[in-house]
Structure 1
Amino acid sequence: MGSAACLLLALMHIVVWWKDRKARANLAFSVMAIAVAALAVLELALMRAETAEQFGITVRWMHVAAWVIIVSLVGFVRLYLNAGRRWLAWTVVGVRTVSLILNFAFWPNINFREITALRHIPFLGESVSVASGVPNPWMLVAQASLLLLVIFVVDATITVWRRGERRQALVLGGSIVLFVVLATAEAVAITWGIISMPMTASLFYQGLVAAMAYELSYDVLRAAALARRLQASEAELRETHQRMDLATSAAGLGIWVWDIVRDEIWISEKGRALFGFEPLEKLDIDRFRNAIHPDDRNFLREALQNSLNTGVDYEAEHRVLLPNGEVRWLNERGSVEFSSEGKPARMRGVSRDVTQRKLGEQALLESEARFRTMANTAPVLIWMSGLDKLCTFFNKPWLEFTGRTIEQELGNGWAEGVHPDDFQSCLKTYVEAFDARQPFVMQYRLRRYDGQYRWISDNGVPRYDSQENFAGYIGSCMDVTDLISKEEA
């Protein structure tokens, strides 16, 4: 049932791509849906395997389907969300490709060095096959690619969220992370013998296909609604424009349309106000460029030209110089329409005032710089950790005390300097306080740059962001070795 639904969705979106070759995200979705259906079929074959050899060969080919799923998913995120770091995307694909090569280099597959037995267990009222054997440590390469995939998607989701597209970030980014993590957890638990059950990772990926199909269908519905509006009469269209002007003005959005062939630009009343144009001023592309801050004109021209050459959506943030000398930050998004000859004919887009956000970002950067300056000049050792309990910052006095680099200390690296006899109690105090969101004070020995262990008094407190959301911990440490020595004396 699930496989049939995946194939049906794949067929539908292949048709969409066939009619609009620029809809490459739909093609990536179709490829993934087909691969998920194939994975489900292979999992069913795995449950019905008669011999260990048949089981091993089936697992081997399941990695091919998994490779297609991951590569097409990376492509979908890049094409549809227009987000995600390119180098990280290539890293995910590269690591997964290496695991696929290793999968065919080892016998029977990358999951097992040897399958010693095939057992039959009851599952949903039927008897299914599961394998017992020696796990292959090279399987960690495949699992590492899944971890990198999650990091890539999280990074892309943050970008989309910051861009203001929060529904997409929650529905699509959240679904991808959730289902990939669940599928990975199940595969790891089964392969390493933690639980005994058949592989059912395709169920999670079918859920992911459903979430992606919902998001794509949402776009189709929006396109259909737009098409119906375009078929309205001229009077209804004027009324729609009036309502749109009112709504966009209230939302602070300026709408513009550039007739590329005639080099004429229509812009809404709010848009004119954003750029500082006169109400009846005739506009062309040169007038627009003159309104742009001189330092931003070159990169904006390149972004615009790239959109005209490739057809990708135009997106940029830049400054404009208003007639009164004021500088305003604008976020712009637009799309190019091509003529039947394949030449750029028209571009439609919106502009939004993001000055306050930019000023806030600048203030945040300045605040962070002030904090680091204060922290690095403080006479105590200072550290910070994030929501995952891992340390994200150490001040200069800490690094000078330990004689290590910031890269060595980040994460759990700092723990390498804790005295072995103190490590467990130190970790227990930290974790218990972190989970309870409570301040803590603990003492432990920390290795100094000269190799000598010094007694440290560590005071940690929870920290919160401007919205009162828990953000991790911050702590300060002092060398109390001399004090302890005096007390013992």
Structure 2
Amino acid sequence: MCITFALIHLFIWFRQRGVIAHLLFSIAALGAAGCAFAEFWALTAGTIETYHSTVRWQHIPVFILLVSLVWFIVVYFGTARKWLAQLITALWVLVLVINFLSPHSIVFTDISYLKYVELPWGEQFSIAIGTNSPWKIIPDMASLLIILFLADASIQLWKRGDRRRAITIGGSSVFFILAGGIHSPLVDAGIVHTPYLISFAFLGIILAMGFELSNDVVRAALLLKEVKANERRWRSLLENVQLLVVGLDIFGKVNYVNPYFLKLTGFDKEEVQGKNWFEYFLPESAGGELKRLFYETLESEFYPHYQDPVITRNGEERLIDWSNVKLYDREGNIIGTLSIGADITEREEAFQEIK
């Protein structure tokens, strides 16, 4: 299940590289799968050497899962204390170093024997009976810090109003890490004679994270559908309105004109697209000044309304009254302008005749 989750969200991340939460979730899910395999290997260990080796290597997927979880919270919640995440990461790096430098592992200095416990349905599993390493306090402290880290980030998120996410991910993560963190030392000390429940605790966390991320994906799909519907409505309006519509990029090149513009000016779309507006479609006497105003509009002062003559394909000048807006990308950078204009040539001529 965890591997399936990991592959799905890894694929989503490949499609949406900016959403790093999906990548961190995939890594955490792979870590949870590794923990489950290592836990199963330890439970079925036939020798002390196999058990020692399994416990030692099990710390790698635990490290991957917990560190990924911490940084997932940093990215996904936006309320976590980054310095605390860095401290937890450093502690777990220290755990790995001590774990692989120790004769056996960071959990045991020595295993006296393996105790085999039979379940009610007849299946057996092994539990190590031995001396706990004094270094084991470091991963225990790191786990405690993770609980404090999650609780703090969830409380801050709750205060911001995102209560469901705070409870679903933050609350469930605190609960399952507490459950696993309390149960595992009792098994290590030989007080509780049951299999480790670490993988089940981690599975609960992965399910909670996956549930929220899946909701985000569904909401994003619905939002995209709504955006596309709105885009179709606006495009229909621009395509059918009896006004001229012109879009320019930041270099003054035409990237959009509507059918009414083509009808009024007599140009084909291919003759207009990509051409510099100020060089091809304005009188030479006005083009330079209007080009200067255009760049001023992009950089500072904005001119929402102005009038200028537009040259048609047959060389006729049509006076257009323009209304203009700036266009922005998602980062807030100006990417061009969109102008909607009314042909006031006849009105202006009639006004001049009256005068």
When normalised by structure 2's length, the TM-score is 0.66
Q: 1:104 to 1:228 in 2, by over 3 A?
A: same
What amino acid sits opposite 1:27 in the alignment? L
Q: 1:136 to 1:8 in 2, by over 3 A?
A: same
Q: How does 1:26-65 map to 2 (within 5 A)?
A: 26-65=22-61
Does 2:172 match 1:175? Answer: yes
Q: How does 1:218-297 map to 2 (within 5 A)?
A: 218-232=215-229
Q: 1:183 to 1:286 in 2, by over 3 A?
A: farther
From 157, 160, 169, the counterpart of 1:160 = 157
Is the CA contact 1:229–1:237 (under 8 Å) kept in the aligned structure 2?
A: no
From 17, 27, 31, the counterpart of 1:21 = 17
Q: Counterparts of 2:40 and 2:193 in 1: how far apart (Å)? A: 16
Q: 1:163 to 1:345 in 2, by over 3 A?
A: farther
1:204-236 deviation digits (Å, cap 9, x = unpaired): 100110000000011011111112212326696
Deviates more, 1:39-48 or 1:188-197: 188-197
Give the fraction of aligned pairs with identical amino acids, expressed as a percent.
32
Q: Counterparts of 2:230 and 2:334 in 1: how far apart (Å)? A: 27
User: Which residue pairs with 1:122 in the alignment?
Assistant: 118
Secondary structure in 2 matching 1:133: strand
Q: Counterparts of 1:139 and 1:213 in 2: how far apart (Å)? A: 31
Which entry has the higher C-alpha Rg, 1 or 2?
Answer: 2
Secondary structure in 1 matching 2:129: strand
User: Which residue pairs with 1:210 in the alignment?
Assistant: 207
Cα root mean square deviation, aligned: 2.8
Is the CA contact 1:150–1:181 (under 8 Å) kept in the aligned structure 2?
A: yes
Does 2:8 match 1:12? Answer: yes
Deviation at 1:161, TM superposition (A): 1.3
Secondary structure in 2 matching 1:120: strand
Deviation at 1:91, TM superposition (A): 0.8
Is the CA contact 2:129–2:188 (under 8 Å) kept in the aligned structure 1?
A: no
From 103, 107, 129, the counterpart of 1:107 = 103
Is the CA contact 1:338–1:345 (under 8 Å) kept in the aligned structure 2?
A: no
> Which 5+ residue runs of structure 2 have no aligned equivalent?
236-248, 252-296, 302-327, 337-355
Is the CA contact 2:298–2:334 (under 8 Å) kept in the aligned structure 1?
A: no
Secondary structure in 1 matching 2:45: coil
What amino acid sits opposite 1:13 in the alignment? H
User: Which residue pairs with 2:137 in the alignment?
Assistant: 140
What amino acid sits opposite 2:95 in the alignment? S
Q: 1:101 to 1:345 in 2, by over 3 A?
A: farther
Deviation at 1:284, TM superposition (A): 9.9
Does 2:293 match 1:337? Answer: no
Deviation at 1:337, TM superposition (A): 2.1
Q: Counterparts of 2:149 and 2:299 in 1: how far apart (Å)? A: 37
Is the CA contact 1:337–1:345 (under 8 Å) kept in the aligned structure 2?
A: no
Is the CA contact 1:337–1:344 (under 8 Å) kept in the aligned structure 2?
A: no
Does 2:89 match 1:96? Answer: no
Q: Counterparts of 1:147 and 1:285 in 2: how far apart (Å)? A: 52
Residues matched between the structures, number: 252
Q: Counterparts of 1:235 and 1:337 in 2: how far apart (Å)? A: 20
Secondary structure in 2 matching 1:231: helix
Q: Counterparts of 2:204 and 2:45 in 1: how far apart (Å)? A: 26
Deviation at 1:14, TM superposition (A): 0.5
Q: 1:344 to 1:179 in 2, by over 3 A?
A: farther
When normalised by structure 1's length, the TM-score is 0.48
Greater RCO, 1 or 2 (C-alpha within 8 Å, sep 6+): 2
Q: 1:193 to 1:286 in 2, by over 3 A?
A: farther
Deviation at 1:80, TM superposition (A): 0.9
Q: Counterparts of 1:54 and 1:120 in 2: how far apart (Å)? A: 14
Deviation at 1:200, TM superposition (A): 2.3
User: Which residue pairs with 1:387 in the alignment?
Assistant: none
Name the one with the larger helix percent.
Answer: 2
Is the CA contact 1:338–1:344 (under 8 Å) kept in the aligned structure 2?
A: no
What amino acid sits opposite 1:39 in the alignment? C
Secondary structure in 1 matching 2:134: coil
1:426-469 deviation digits (Å, cap 9, x = unpaired): xxxxxxxxxxxxxxxxxxxxxxxxxxxxxxxxxxxxxxxxxxxx
Deviation at 1:147, TM superposition (A): 0.3
Q: Counterparts of 1:189 and 1:336 in 2: how far apart (Å)? A: 55
Q: Counterparts of 2:119 and 2:149 in 1: how far apart (Å)? A: 35
Is the CA contact 1:84–1:156 (under 8 Å) kept in the aligned structure 2?
A: yes
What amino acid sits opposite 1:195 in the alignment? V
Q: 1:117 to 1:345 in 2, by over 3 A?
A: farther
What amino acid sits opposite 1:122 in the alignment? E
Is the CA contact 1:28–1:75 (under 8 Å) kept in the aligned structure 2?
A: yes
From 176, 184, 205, the counterpart of 2:181 = 184
Is the CA contact 2:99–2:105 (under 8 Å) kept in the aligned structure 1?
A: yes
Deviates more, 1:191-200 or 1:14-23: 191-200
Is the CA contact 1:47–1:198 (under 8 Å) kept in the aligned structure 2?
A: yes
